[in-house]
Structure 1
Amino acid sequence: MNSFNDTSADDTARSFDVSSASVAGRLDAYLAEQLAGEGVSRGKVQDLIKGGKVFVDGTVRTKPKFKLMGGETVDVALELPGSGIVPEQSELDVLFEDGRVAVIHKTAGLTVHPAPGRPAGTLVHQLAHRFPKILEMEGERPGIVHRIDKDTSGLLLVALDEASRLALSADFAERRVDKRYLALVHGVPQGNVGNQGTIDAPIGRHPRSKTKMAVVEKGGRDALSDWEVLWSTPDGSASMVAVTIHTGRTHQIRVHMAHLGHPLLGDVVYGSRQHAEWCRDSGLDPALAGRQMLHAWRLGFTHPHSGERLEFVLPPAEDFQRLALSLGQSVQRVGVVGMPGCGKSTVAALLAEAGAPLFSADQCVAELYEEEADGWIMLRRRFGEKFAPTGSAVDKAQLFAAMRSSEGMRREILDVVHPLVRHRMTEFWRSHRREDVAVAEVPLLLEGGWVEQGLADVVVGVSCTEGVRRARLATRGWDEETVATLESWQWAEADKLAACDFVVDNGGTLEDLKQNVAELLRQLVDRRRESRVALENRLNALWAGNC
């Protein structure tokens, strides 16, 4: 059955859902049948179509023989001049106008044209105040040759006279207008060619929800979108994607990106599950994604009178920019390393006192070795009760002796324990990803290749003289053989410190160390600030079209 959104006898806008192919066919024949009860002849319907008063899925169709396939929304304006549109004064952002056409920056939250339930307060009412001439055109959509969703921001092309409207409507119908959008989406889309791809999937009414569109196997209209990932967050939780649409289906980008598995941030219609998870897990204020993050970014068209090709680029709205910057600023992950006895635990503790969350690999291992903990279970599965006896924690002395006895055994044990530590450290970073700085003290961070694996952004080495270090180890009761064994499992001190981004000297008093750590924090803050500036510059360049 067709869904006829009738409003009242005075309303002149009509909207129909072509819900199946069985009732589809020529556009003029379909509308003539639907409007027969209102005394509208097929000839009048053809005049309305040729006059640009009929929209199919938001695109003007000016050919009466246009083929409907089923699944479309058909809107028709029956109104004659003097429709009753009352001009409304506003701060309309006009980017270009020459008496024939205008390019407008439509803000998010603004409906383009009147419709049932929205008789006033639309862009058309604002245009009528700025360009009274458009009221000489018929209908409730004077000057409108295409539209973008209420909660989408960006570039909108408007015709300022009837000749321009007809010419531009034809250009849109023949796909001679270039439209490129920016979208913030969940995750990182993977294409057939690196970071880009094409979605060629027909769109029609959702089979179970008439207020939604969907990719459908039957009864939909062809829909073609090209996409390219321009930027992704460090943790891969979101990406900024440029989408070029070659067709103009209702909600096309939102439907296609959701079909790809990467719905738009803030889109509670086509990405409700992902949006709920993001609100719960992102660590950001959900209000930052208060709408679908979609922006009509680039627009190219041929001027209907001069024939000149015009191109426009508009950076996204402030809320879009603010969310992208917030997403891109993840925690600065600081790894602390050093030789046994250098004082790396003290440095890590001082950073924690300054407010940085702290992860200790040694503490993590101690927890993993408790009876029935993950490390205890995995060692028991691999080696039986040799290191994880029933009724007690892991026998660390026995484990250490086995590691000293054989390099092969040491590596076998590390293959069991290190993945568990790495997983917990990854979860630590994730749970603190909105902090400015978080710290992980991991003795074998460099030796384990974890920096190369992307598990730390900054490495801080702690150093002191050999004599000071040996004296500290002696106070712990460590014998020379134990020290030599532990050192043999690490890089040479010179190599370790050379691989660090910062080195903290711990050869003096505790007060000296506190001053050195304070200086380290200052440098980390500067690094964070520089990172934000670099991100802003990169995004600004992308938004300006320099990509």
Structure 2
Amino acid sequence: MTDTKNEQQWERTISFADGGTRLDKFWGRELADEGVSRGRVKAWIESGLAKVNGRVVDKGKYKLAAGEKTVIGAAEPEAGEGAPDPVRGRLDVLFEDAAMLMVCKPAGLTTHPAPGEPGPTLVNLLLHRWPDIAADKSGMDEQRPGIVHRLDKDTSGVMAVARTEAARLKLSADFAEHNVFKVYLALVHGVPTPAQGTVDAPMGRHPSQKTKMAVVDKGGREARSDYRVLWTGPRGLASLVAVRIHTGRTHQIRVHMAHIGHPLLGDAVYGPRESAEWERRPDLLAGLAPRQMLHAFYLSVFHPETGEPVTRWLPPPEDFCALLAGLPRECLRVGVVGMPGGGKSALMRFLGAMGRPCFSADECVAELYNPGGDGAAMINQRFGGAYTLEDGGVDKPGLFAAMRESDQVRREVNDMVHPMVRHRCEEFFKAHRDEPVAYAEVPLLLEGGWHKEGMVDLVAGVRCPADKRTGELRRLRNLPPEILAVFDSWQWPEKDKLAACDFVADNSAGLDHLEREAERLDAAALAALADRDRATEAWMDGLWPGLAGELDRERAGGEGPA
């Protein structure tokens, strides 16, 4: 096809309220916020640059009718050779009869020919499969035969298409009057609060970036979106949201979700900061949002001839589902606990030798207490240098003696150091997100309530006979009995620790036995990971039909698509 392109083009479907409005007054109002004067609108119309239902109208006094589609602007392709060509391509059909279609528009496919979009487009594919919709046979618009609504190029999902001019007029009017039922699925950054709500925020062109839309204080057009959070990923990383739009403004969902602080994943236009941060992630998720994650999931319209509802829904495409499945598919985080001197560190060495990432809270604290460490700085500031060495590091024996003598000092130190250890542990798990399993030895994990706060997925405890722990193992560490007793007094009793564990490794025999226990623990962790993956797959399999059923009931309660 050959286009003659100049500046810009706008199109509208006339609503019932605008029926009877003069063409020049309609476009003068619509383009006021675009910086287009009424004089320019008049000149465009008189120059033949305005069309109604594909036919040039050069009289400004022409009165528009509800459902008519009007286009204006200097970017309209010239007549003649501008008709789009039929192009072979895959197009999944959800509904078909002589009056209308429902099809699946894949992401990456533009709805109809437009300046700067070389194609092929959905229109090209439609013309190949249904040549009867072409303008010379159907009387519909040459550039957009059958098109009654649009989806963004990178949005996938269900679209309705008219096969006759009469059907197009009826469907266009229903879309213009919002007499349809449309629900989208979106993956958004963070967790929208509240979990269910309405965004009622008028929209118009961005005041300085004319290719973008925005929520505007003055001169905007009504725009209302109802959203509902269906699922939230680990630690609020992202959420799956269902959005029903009552109006059909350009980029409405993308603008509204960004307006409430939760832009769509992959949307660099309306969430540039969040999108850039996502692309810098150190894990596989960074490459799983190549487009805005938006899918037109559910559409119900009244049939243009029978008046009966035509309803279809479509699960999201592979890229959307891959990202959704990938969000919870992180390493299984295992916390390792046990009594002091009971063999936790030896168990961790065996796990590390198996290639598993391992974190030690004791080693973390040692780093924090070194000269220049954050822990050393905080303790120096809080206690006025009483437990600080000349090199700036922590006087560990002096601090331990103070903690032993004063519960208040011990609590203050714990309150300062434990959050730092927790942050380091969180960063450790984040850095190893793509590993199957990662282990963190945290002696006070249970006492600190980490297991109840989602820090770990599984807690493994090491059971060691008291005589072995206080005898042979204590002597190997050169630990005085009274010091071991102090450490014990700061922790839960062993029976309480082990009762809170999901797995217990036995350290009643030698190192060979403990190594086998490490292998048994790792096998149990991998089994738990596989169970979690299967549960995620089962959840996703049931999610789409379940949601469609809910929407069927919601729509039926309203007695029609609207």
**TM-score of the pair, normalised by structure 1:** 0.88
For 1:21 and 1:393, locate their aligned partners in 2 and report how far apart those are by CA, in whole Å.
Answer: 64
Q: Is the contact between residue 154 and residue 295 of structure 1 (CA under 8 Å) also seen in structure 2? A: yes
Bigger shift: 30-39 or 170-179? 30-39
Query: What stretches of structure 1 of length at least 5 have no aligned partner?
Result: 1-5, 57-72
Q: CA deviation at 1:51?
A: 6.8
Q: Alignment RMSD, CA only?
A: 2.9
Verify: 1:184 aligned to 2:197, yes or no. Answer: no
For 2:64 and 2:167, locate their aligned partners in 1 and report how far apart those are by CA, in whole Å.
Answer: 17
> Paired residue for 1:525?
526
For 2:325 and 2:32, locate their aligned partners in 1 and report how far apart those are by CA, in whole Å.
Answer: 42
- Shift of the 235–405 alpha-carbon distance from structure 1 to 2, 3 Å rule, reads same
Q: CA deviation at 1:276?
A: 0.9
For 2:78 and 2:168, locate their aligned partners in 1 and report how far apart those are by CA, in whole Å.
Answer: 17
The share of aligned pairs that are identical, in percent, is 50
> Paired residue for 1:130?
129
Q: CA deviation at 1:434?
A: 2.7
Amino acid at match of 1:38: G
For 2:260 and 2:323, locate their aligned partners in 1 and report how far apart those are by CA, in whole Å.
Answer: 22
Verify: 1:483 aligned to 2:484, yes or no. Answer: yes
- Shift of the 405–215 alpha-carbon distance from structure 1 to 2, 3 Å rule, reads same
Verify: 1:115 aligned to 2:128, yes or no. Answer: no
Give 3-state SS (helix, strand or coil) of 2:199's partner: strand
Amino acid at match of 1:448: G
Amino acid at match of 1:35: I
- Shift of the 325–402 alpha-carbon distance from structure 1 to 2, 3 Å rule, reads same
> Paired residue for 2:103?
104
Verify: 1:53 aligned to 2:69, yes or no. Answer: yes
Deviations 1:21-43 (CA, angstroms, capped at 9, x unpaired): 88688xxx996652211285455
Amino acid at match of 2:526: V
Give 3-state SS (helix, strand or coil) of 1:20's partner: helix
For 1:173 and 1:204, locate their aligned partners in 2 and report how far apart those are by CA, in whole Å.
Answer: 17
Q: CA deviation at 1:119?
A: 6.0
Bigger shift: 45-54 or 228-237? 45-54
Verify: 1:171 aligned to 2:174, yes or no. Answer: yes
Q: Is the contact between residue 255 and residue 270 of structure 1 (CA under 8 Å) also seen in structure 2? A: yes
Alignment match of 2:157 (pick from 154, 159, 163)? 154
Verify: 1:84 aligned to 2:83, yes or no. Answer: yes
Q: Is the contact between residue 190 and residue 196 of structure 1 (CA under 8 Å) also seen in structure 2? A: yes
Deviations 1:137-181 (CA, angstroms, capped at 9, x unpaired): 321211111010111100000111122111111111111101111
Deviations 1:234-261 (CA, angstroms, capped at 9, x unpaired): 0211111111111111111111111222
Q: CA deviation at 1:188?
A: 1.2
Q: CA deviation at 1:75?
A: 9.2
Give 3-state SS (helix, strand or coil) of 2:295's partner: strand
For 1:45 and 1:460, locate their aligned partners in 2 and report how far apart those are by CA, in whole Å.
Answer: 80
Q: CA deviation at 1:107?
A: 0.4
For 1:228 and 1:22, locate their aligned partners in 2 and report how far apart those are by CA, in whole Å.
Answer: 36
Q: CA deviation at 1:390?
A: 3.1
Alignment match of 2:45 (pick from 35, 42, 49)? 35
For 1:412 and 1:83, locate their aligned partners in 2 and report how far apart those are by CA, in whole Å.
Answer: 77
Q: Is the contact between residue 79 and residue 138 of structure 1 (CA under 8 Å) also seen in structure 2? A: no
Q: Is the contact between residue 12 and residue 78 of structure 1 (CA under 8 Å) also seen in structure 2? A: no
Give 3-state SS (helix, strand or coil) of 1:306's partner: coil
Bigger shift: 38-47 or 431-440? 38-47
Q: Is the contact between residue 54 and residue 77 of structure 1 (CA under 8 Å) also seen in structure 2? A: no
> Paired residue for 1:468?
468
> Paired residue for 1:61?
none
Superposition map of 1:327-342 within 5 A: 327-342=327-342
Q: CA deviation at 1:279?
A: 0.8
Amino acid at match of 2:358: L
Verify: 1:226 aligned to 2:226, yes or no. Answer: yes
Verify: 1:394 aligned to 2:379, yes or no. Answer: no
How many residue pairs align between the two structures? 519
Deviations 1:5-58 (CA, angstroms, capped at 9, x unpaired): x96299998769825288688xxx9966522112854559848866733269xx
Verify: 1:8 aligned to 2:4, yes or no. Answer: yes
Q: CA deviation at 1:330?
A: 2.0
> Paired residue for 2:493?
492
> Paired residue for 2:553?
none
Query: What stretches of structure 2 of length at least 5 have no aligned partner?
Result: 12-26, 50-55, 551-562
Q: CA deviation at 1:480?
A: 2.1
- Shift of the 132–337 alpha-carbon distance from structure 1 to 2, 3 Å rule, reads same
For 1:180 and 1:386, locate their aligned partners in 2 and report how far apart those are by CA, in whole Å.
Answer: 64
Amino acid at match of 1:122: T
Superposition map of 1:61-460 within 5 A: 84-118=83-117, 120-135=119-134, 136-139=138-141, 140-191=143-194, 195-281=195-281, 283-284=283-284, 286-391=286-391, 393-460=393-460
Amino acid at match of 2:123: V
- Shift of the 30–230 alpha-carbon distance from structure 1 to 2, 3 Å rule, reads farther
Give 3-state SS (helix, strand or coil) of 2:280's partner: helix
Give 3-state SS (helix, strand or coil) of 2:192's partner: coil
Q: Is the contact between residue 53 and residue 76 of structure 1 (CA under 8 Å) also seen in structure 2? A: no
Q: CA deviation at 1:500?
A: 0.3
- Shift of the 9–324 alpha-carbon distance from structure 1 to 2, 3 Å rule, reads closer
